[in-house]
A = this chain, B = another copy of it.
Amino acid sequence: MYQVNDKEFNCSISVTLDIFNDRWKLSIIWHLLDSDKRFKELHNEIDEITQKTLTVKLKELEKKNIINREVFAQVPPKVVYSLTDAGRRLKPVLDDMFTWGVGYVEEFGKITPNVQCKIKEGKK
């Protein structure tokens, strides 16, 4: 049994799954792997997310020690988000997921002209 972030898990894979088991967190991590970002930059890049949801997800990721939140005392406000070491260590997982997804699409999907990888779940 593992105890992390006030939850209990019986497997370390569950621990990992818990980090991004929703519609948005993996996308946020992906965009921060690229470079540190301000709130607004993230909101622009993940443009389907609402401001409220982005705020909630950033807080969750901060609480889980995946991202850092740095506030600059200035007007207008500036807040920069970056990955922690633990967050950056997620890259291999993302890479594998990317690779698997490519193979899966080749086998079962159709590809239409793309713009950019944005990582979110498909609309249900």
Contacts and interface: CB of A to CB of B under 8 A. Distances in A.
Contact of A14 (B13, B18, B120): B120
Contact of A122 (B8, B100, B117): B8
A115 B10 CA distance: 8
Nearest to A6: B122
Nearest to A105: B2
Contacts of A99: 92
A112 interface: yes
A123 to B, nearest CB: 7
Interface of A: 1-5, 7-23, 26-27, 30, 65, 86, 89-90, 92-94, 96-105, 107-124
